[in-house]
Amino acid sequence: MGSSPLIGILDDEEHFRRALSRLLQAHEYRSMAFATGPEFLAEASRQQFDCLLLDLAMPGMTGFDVLEVLGADPGAPPAIVITGVEDPSVFKRAMELKAFECHGKPIRGEVLVEAIGRALRRNGAGLRAGRT
């Protein structure tokens, strides 16, 4: 069995990053959390993430900006958008930028874990880690 999938968390709210990290750990995922887009992208150039949990409304480089950068990389991890802005036009724009799924905050843990499972199956990471 391989190592568990690595999930990136990109959100400017520290308490949300910590809560997501605890949830992922409880489901045997590894995670790395980032407060800014540039921090995540710098690490993503060195590390292969299997999935990204992404906030859109962040100061400086927004989640949309991150999606644009990732969209240019065919090897980019699937990005699950989690945002407090539940506006259909926001979700539509994120999907146009190749987000895997979009969810509003707050999100129930089981809903997010199921979304991660779908993203990992699409990416092949769940199978590499011995998950189904």
Beta strands (DSSP E) in the chain are 6-10, 30-34, 51-54, 79-83, 101-104
Is the confidence at residue 2, as pLDDT, over 80?
Answer: no
Whole-number pLDDT of residue 125: 62
The yes-or-no verdict on residue 128 having pLDDT over 70 is: no
Domains of the chain: 6-128 (3.40.50.2300)
pLDDT value at 123 more than 90: no
pLDDT, position 114: 97
What does the alpha-carbon distance between residue 42 and residue 25 come to, in Å, rounded to a whole number? Answer: 23
Q: What is the pLDDT of residue 131?
A: 41
Q: Is the pLDDT of residue 1 over 80?
A: no
Question: Which residue, 117, 112, 44, 43, is CA-closest to 82?
Answer: 112
Q: Say what angle helices 109-123 and 14-26 make with each other, to 10 degrees.
A: 70
Helix (H, G, I), strand (E, B) or coil at 51: strand
Residue 112 amino acid letter? L
Q: Which residue has the higher pLDDT, 31 or 3?
A: 31
CA distance linking residue 131 with residue 88, whole number of Å: 33
- pTM of the complete model: 0.91
pLDDT (mean) for 57-78: 94
| 103-120 pLDDT, tens digit each | 999 999 999 999 999 999
Band (129; pLDDT cuts 50, 70, 90): very low
pLDDT-based confidence at 122, cuts 50/70/90?
confident
pLDDT at 98: 94
